[in-house]
Amino acid sequence: MLGKLIKYDFRSLSRILFPTQIAMLGATIIATLGFLFNVRIDLSGASMNGGIGLLRIIIGFLSGIMVLGIIAASFLVAFIIFQRFYKSLMSDEGYLTFTLPVTTTDILWSKLITAMLWTIISGVVIFICINIFLVLGTSRRVVFNFEIYREISRFIHEAFQTIGGKLTVPMIEFVLLSLVSLAYSILHVYLALIIGGIVSQKHKVLAGIGFYFAISMIVGTISSVVQYFIGEPLLSRFNALEGVPFDSRTPIEIYDIIFSASQPYYWFMLIFMLALSAAFFILCHYLLKNKLNLE
């Protein structure tokens, strides 16, 4: 049943988000070309007078709007994700959602997984957009500028030659932490929306926003306490690095020292966030199951 839920949730998001992502790609290409046009005309030494000047202003203006549009589109992704969550659980649609023969746990997992998937998709699209700009919009001489990739690949190549296979672990750790903090951020908003929907009669979304900040404050308090007792001692291992004579070490040795010093703190952060996410999830589940009364 979880698979079916994910299918429907994903479709209800994609229906709106897919076109926005396509629009974003299109906008990027147009903005890049506009930018390029500007740069090229500048190079040809044409003056600001006459039609070309006006054209440049218009193109410049358009490119600016496109850039803003791209930023807006990424905010839209978040907005749509949370709007869909709210509508399908807290509005009349909840009558359907909560009478399907599925568990509340499955409903929440589906909402979380589809939200994460779409955030990742939109991240990938933004990454592609940046690359389109880098390739098409950064050179006055060639149409496709691959210089930057040559730089990057050189850097990666060097890094791998010196540190080598050891980079896999921190890369996996980075992905893991990103995923957990993504889940954490989404569940934070979900919980706020649920509490707002239960507590307030009229201004449910507004109350949700209020509870978002309230939860942030509570989490802030908890994390400073936990940080003080557990985080600081772990972090203080970095202080021990002060006396280390780095000059006499090879890059691999330096890497090893820093990596191993950071490990306890990394795991502390990961587990702490995971624990908070789990707490959010359990709270969401409890409230939906026992406290929610649809109008």
Enumerate binding residues for other proteins (CB under 8 A).
1, 4, 8, 12, 15, 87-88, 92-96, 98-103, 289-290, 293-294
Residue 95 or 174 with smaller CB distance to other proteins: 95
CB of 117 to other proteins, least distance (A): 19
Residue 93 or 256 with smaller CB distance to other proteins: 93
Residue 85 or 133 with smaller CB distance to other proteins: 85
Residue 13 or 129 with smaller CB distance to other proteins: 13
Residue 46 or 294 with smaller CB distance to other proteins: 294
CB of 4 to other proteins, least distance (A): 5
CB of 118 to other proteins, least distance (A): 16
CB of 120 to other proteins, least distance (A): 23
CB of 244 to other proteins, least distance (A): 59
Rounded to 5 degrees, what angle do the CA atoms 69, 114, 282 make? 120
